């Protein structure tokens, strides 16, 4: 049975034309699915619907266990990690979610250190988040989602503010996770590296779905939905 299923989902912000129209797809347990699309194509709206930030205007969205007493089964890593980090030290930020659920500070710290270890950032536990680099913040934001044990992690443009080395580290971190992933991005090179299925969004609708490399190498298709060939392919031209 699928972990996530969307059936003819529409979403319109107030009095606007739909930001998402007729979206149907499913995600299996343990699968990584990338959502590719130009700016404004609806990627963030789609992730926010799945995270439960808002409800579809019509259609059905079904996420396994979403109504369980443990609460939301999808954890969102927002595009700007600064939105997720606001405590005096990093471990307190990472532990915020579990401590909010009643875990003691001692246990919270222990769980935070474990989550930070999983993303290779345990040494940053006692640092103030605002003094970290973009890549370090991104890792911490992932740790603060991992600690909640979500069945599905949603990442919104995770490579957008990273330099090449931090980007490489992030990709190998994401590949090492055994959680199901949904990654929204216009970084097609990352999608090639992730070796995942790709769903292409264009003006709020699904333009195509493809297994890697498939449509990621189709310049005419990509340009028709406002994207360009992955940089690694452009270099080969």
Ligand X SMILES: Nc1ncnc2c1ncn2[C@@H]1O[C@H](COP(=O)(O)OP(=O)(O)O)[C@@H](O)[C@H]1O
Taking CB under 5 A as the criterion, which residues in 31-50 touch Mg ion? 43-44
- In the set 6, 9, 36, 45, which binds ligand X (CB under 6 A)? 45
Q: Does residue 185 belong to the site contacting ligand X (CB under 6 A)?
A: no
Smallest distance, ligand X to C-beta of residue 40, A? 4
CA-based nearest residue to 108, from 138, 147, 75, 142: 147
Q: Which is nearer to ligand X, 68 or 209 (CB)?
A: 209
| Contact between 19 and ligand X per CB under 6 A | yes
Residues 85-114 contacting ligand X, CB under 6 A:
none
What number of other Cβ atoms are within 10 A of residue 112's Cβ? 28
- 204 and 218 in contact (C-beta within 8 Å)? no
Q: Which option in Mg ion, ligand X, none does residue 69 bind, with CB closer than 5 to 8 A by kind?
A: none
42 binds ligand X (CB under 6 A): yes
Beta-carbon contacts of 172 under 8 Å, excluding residues fewer than 6 positions away, are: none
Least distance (Å) between residue 18 CB and ligand X: 9
55 binds ligand X (CB under 6 A): no
- The window from 33-41, 114-122, 190-198, 227-235 that contacts ligand X (CB under 6 A) reads 33-41
Report the residue number, 39 or 106, with the smaller CB distance to ligand X.
Answer: 39
Residue 41 touching ligand X (CB under 6 A): yes
> Which C-beta is closer to ligand X: that of 90 or that of 225?
225
Residue 16 touches which member of Mg ion, ligand X, none, C-beta under 5-8 Å by kind: ligand X
Residues that bind ligand X (CB under 6 A): 13, 16, 19, 37, 39-45
Residues that bind Mg ion (CB under 5 A): 43-44
């Amino acid at each position: 049975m699928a972990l996530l299923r969307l059936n003819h989902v529409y979403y319109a912000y107030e009095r606007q034309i739909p930001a998402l129209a007729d979206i149907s797809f499913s995600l299996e347990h343990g699968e990584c699915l990338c959502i590719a699309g130009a700016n404004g194509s609806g990627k963030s709206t789609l992730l926010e619907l799945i995270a439960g930030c808002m409800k579809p205007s019509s259609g059905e969205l079904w996420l396994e266990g979403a109504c369980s007493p443990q609460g939301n089964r999808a954890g969102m890593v927002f595009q700007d990690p600064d939105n997720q980090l606001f405590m005096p030290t990093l471990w307190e930020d990472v532990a915020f979610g579990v401590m909010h659920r009643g875990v003691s500070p001692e246990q919270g710290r222990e769980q935070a250190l474990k989550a930070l270890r999983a993303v290779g950032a345990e040494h940053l536990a006692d640092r103030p988040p605002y003094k970290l680099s973009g890549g370090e913040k991104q890792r911490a934001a992932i740790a603060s989602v991992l600690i909640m044990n979500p069945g599905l992690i949603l990442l919104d443009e995770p490579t957008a503010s990273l330099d090449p080395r931090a980007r490489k580290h992030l990709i190998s971190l994401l590949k090492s996770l055994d959680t199901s992933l949904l990654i929204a991005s216009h970084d097609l090179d990352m999608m090639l590296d992730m070796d995942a299925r790709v769903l292409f969004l264009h003006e709020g609708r699904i333009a195509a779905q493809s297994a890697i490399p498939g449509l990621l190498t189709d310049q005419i298709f990509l340009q028709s939905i406002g994207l360009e060939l992955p940089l690694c392919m452009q270099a080969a031209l």
